[in-house]
């Protein structure tokens, strides 16, 4: 058993790596970027609207935002240092004339132009020598030289360190790039500048370039380009943080880390996942044995029909029904206590003044309906699965022997049959351990419980990549651990099973 467990634990990081890289590629290839925000259309549907203030490479907010999230780099391989001078000249011409080629009569549509400008702005950091060559060529058209100057400034701009814990060295770097940014902006010239003024500004750019070749790595050699090819990418930047257990910060607030925000919500999702799982396991075993024992009789037909109906009703119908018809303006049976319809506990001013047992009872009052909304669907499916498993075990020879010896039915069902039939249920429930962090999105939203499911939903709407990736990683980890626990539970439930 120990060798098997160790082998599974060693395979765990490899499995998680491929899960992370798959999710990372899908998320980064999905249409849109984090600077798109959700709005509600007139018909009530959610739509994504692009924030136009981020559309241009000269916008500082746009630039800092994308650099902070690593969106200015390629996803897996960075071939930008190998871009040719002809590509740079062609792209500058396209951006100036808003056409892909001189033969095109129509201009680019706005989205294609913005995408081309964004992509070229991201590449400008790696094509600085080519941009400088265009600037120093006096025969180049003034409008193209002006466009090249803007992208030269864009390529020379470096991201600052952001966060609550900035070291002295990082602070010095921030001050240095702030001074350089101000100096670089002064190199740009107005549209009506004379040729002499343009030449003066270009000379200043050349002087700054020569002074900062080493500091900003403006002319990488061959081996440095190889290093950039594999390591200057979005995925490597993300994994370098994950290895140090740094999962980033929130999109809307860089002072709040993903871990700290998840920790605040973990107890809510943990409660709404673990309690239903154990209750479902016990109840489905009971109803499974009951239906199997009375097979093809009225209890079997009655519970089969009941669970089939429950399984067919979606949670987004059951939860509002419980709120409106069961909880709203009603009290718990045999009491005058109103049934809460939102929150995990009472308001802090009330909850903080309660004793321990009062707090426990208060939590139970608030989560009674959410637990019911979460449990009914899984109970319906697992009970029918348990019935099938029990029927299969009832046909085994050792069960027939127990019946022949006159062993009481309750002992046969709950000791001999139930224990072996539980293997099927354990397998089914093991995969649901991933819900410990995911929670129930619909239930948490409708009952206004600030759990991780609602937190993840908000992250998807806001395109908060850090939260989405952490959810995928954490959910995968817990699910894999659940399957490992299930494998170990097999040996306890059935001594005949060996993992060696």
**Three-state secondary structure string covering the chain:** CHHHHHHHHHHHHHHHHHHHHHHHHHHHHCCCCCCEEEEECCCCCEEEEECHHHCCCCCHHHHHHHHHCCCCCCCCCCCHHHCCHHHHHHHHHHHHHCCCCCCCCCCCCHHHHHHHHHHHHHHHHHCHHHHHHHHHCCCCCHHHHHHHHHHHHHHHCCCCCCCCCCCHHHHHHHHHHHHHHHHHHHHCCCCCCCHHHHHHHHHHHHHHHHHCCCCCCCCCCHHHHHHHHHHCCHHHHHHHHHHCCCCCECCCCCCCEHHHHHHHHHHHHHHHHHHHHHHHHHHHHHHHHHHHHCCCCHHHHHHHHHHHHHHHCCHHHHHHHHHHHHHCCCECCCCCCECCCCCCCCCHHHHCCCCHHHHHHHHHHHHHHHHHHHHHHHHHHHHHHHHHHHHHHHCCHHHHHHHHCCCCHHHHHHHHHHHHHHHHHHHHHHHHHHHHHHCCHHHHHHCCCCCHHHHHHHHHHHCCHHHHHHHHHHHHHHHHHHHHHHHHHHHHHCCCCCCC
Only one residue has tokens 């990081």, namely 13
Average pLDDT across the chain, whole number: 83
Nearest to 434 by CA among 313, 277, 314, 278: 277
The C-alpha torsion from 126 through 128 and 133 to 139, rounded to 10°, is 100
Q: Kindly report the number of other CB atoms within 10 A of residue 263's CB atom.
A: 11
Looking at residue 430, its pLDDT comes to 67
Separation of CA 243 from chain center: 17
131 touches 151 (CB < 8 A) = yes
- Of the candidates 377, 379, 376, 373, the one whose C-alpha atom is nearest the C-alpha of residue 285 is 379
Note the pLDDT tens digit of each residue in 290-349: 898 888 899 899 999 999 999 898 888 888 888 888 888 888 887 888 888 888 888 888
**What CA–CA distance (Å, rounded) separates 284 from 306?**
13
pLDDT score, position 61: 60
Banded model confidence at residue 176, pLDDT cuts 50, 70, 90: confident
Q: Is the pLDDT reported for residue 233 higher than 50?
A: yes
| Domain architecture of the chain: domains with CATH | 52-68+77-232 (no CATH), 258-493 (1.10.3720.10)
In the chain, the percentage of residues whose pLDDT exceeds 70 is 89
d(CA 30, CA 120): 20
Q: What is the mean pLDDT of residues 248-263?
A: 81
**Would you say residue 93 has pLDDT above 70?**
yes
C-alpha to C-alpha distance for 371 and 327, rounded to whole angstroms: 14
pLDDT classification of 144: cutoffs 50, 70, 90: very high
Contact yes or no for 288/422 (Cβ under 8 A): no
pLDDT at 205: 93
Q: What are the pLDDT digits (tens) for 20-73?
A: 899 888 888 877 665 554 443 333 333 344 443 333 344 566 666 677 667 788
pLDDT above 70: residue 500: no
pLDDT at residue 96 in the model = 92
CA end-to-end span of the chain:
6
The pLDDT value recorded for residue 43 is 38
Asked if 232 and 80 count as a contact pair (C-beta separation under 8 A), the reply is no
Q: How many CB atoms lie within 10 A of CB 59?
A: 14
Q: How many Cβ atoms are within 10 Å of 240's Cβ, its own excluded?
A: 11
* Predicted pLDDT of residue 63: 66
What local confidence, expressed as pLDDT, does residue 40 receive?
37
323: tokens are 């709120």
Using CA atoms, how far apart are residues 78 and 236, in angstroms rounded to an integer? 11
Which has the closest alpha carbon to 371: 313, 319, 311?
319
CA 255, CA 18: separation in Å to the nearest integer?
A: 30
Residue owning tokens 């154990």? 278
Distance CA 355, CA 343 (A): 19
């Amino acid at each position: 058993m120990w060798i098997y467990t160790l082998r599974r634990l060693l395979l765990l990081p490899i499995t998680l790596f491929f899960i992370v890289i798959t999710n990372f590629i899908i998320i980064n290839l999905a249409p849109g970027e984090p600077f798109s925000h959700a709005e509600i259309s007139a018909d009530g549907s959610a739509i994504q609207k692009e924030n136009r203030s981020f559309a241009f490479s000269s916008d500082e907010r746009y630039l800092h935002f994308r650099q902070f999230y690593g969106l200015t780099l390629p996803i897996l391989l960075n071939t930008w240092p190998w871009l040719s001078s002809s590509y740079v000249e062609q792209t500058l011409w396209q951006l100036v004339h808003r056409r892909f080629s001189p033969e095109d009569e129509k201009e680019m549509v706005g989205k294609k132009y913005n995408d081309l400008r964004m992509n070229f702005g991201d590449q400008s950091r790696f094509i600085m020598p080519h941009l400088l060559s265009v600037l120093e060529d006096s025969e180049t058209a003034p409008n193209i030289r002006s466009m090249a100057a803007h992208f030269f400034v864009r390529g020379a701009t470096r991201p600052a360190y952001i966060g609550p814990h900035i070291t002295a060295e990082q602070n010095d770097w921030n001050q240095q790039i702030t001074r350089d940014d101000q100096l670089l902006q002064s190199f740009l010239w107005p549209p009506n500048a004379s040729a002499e003024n343009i030449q003066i500004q270009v000379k200043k750019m050349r002087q700054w370039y020569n002074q900062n070749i080493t500091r900003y790595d403006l002319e990488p050699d061959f081996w440095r380009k190889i290093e950039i090819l594999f390591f200057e990418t979005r995925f490597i930047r993300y994994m370098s943080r994950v290895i140090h257990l740094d999962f980033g910060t929130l999109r809307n607030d860089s002072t709040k880390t993903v871990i700290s925000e998840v920790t605040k919500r973990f107890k809510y999702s943990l409660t709404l996942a673990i309690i239903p799982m154990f209750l479902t396991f016990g109840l489905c075993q009971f109803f499974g044995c009951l239906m199997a024992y009375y097979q093809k009789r009225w209890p079997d037909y009655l519970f089969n029909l009941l669970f089939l109906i429950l399984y067919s009703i979606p949670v987004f119908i059951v939860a509002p029904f419980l709120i409106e018809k069961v909880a709203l303006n009603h009290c718990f049976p045999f009491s005058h206590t109103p049934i809460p319809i939102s929150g995990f506990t009472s308001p802090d001013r009330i909850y903080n003044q309660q004793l321990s047992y009062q707090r426990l009872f208060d939590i139970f009052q608030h989560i009674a309906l959410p637990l019911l909304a979460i449990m009914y669907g899984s109970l319906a499916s697992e009970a029918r699965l348990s019935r099938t498993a029990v029927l299969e075990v009832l046909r085994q020879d050792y069960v027939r022997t127990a019946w022949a010896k006159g062993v009481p039915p309750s002992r046969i069902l709950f000791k001999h049959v139930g224990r072996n039939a539980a293997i099927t249920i354990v397998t089914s429930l093991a995969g649901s351990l991933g819900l410990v962090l995911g929670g129930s999105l619909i239930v948490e939203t409708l009952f206004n419980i600030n759990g991780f499911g609602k937190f993840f939903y908000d992250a998807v709407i806001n395109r908060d990549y850090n939260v989405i990736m952490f959810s995928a990683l954490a959910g995968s980890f817990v699910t894999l651990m659940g399957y490992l626990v299930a494998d170990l539970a097999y040996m306890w439930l059935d001594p005949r099973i060996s993992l060696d």
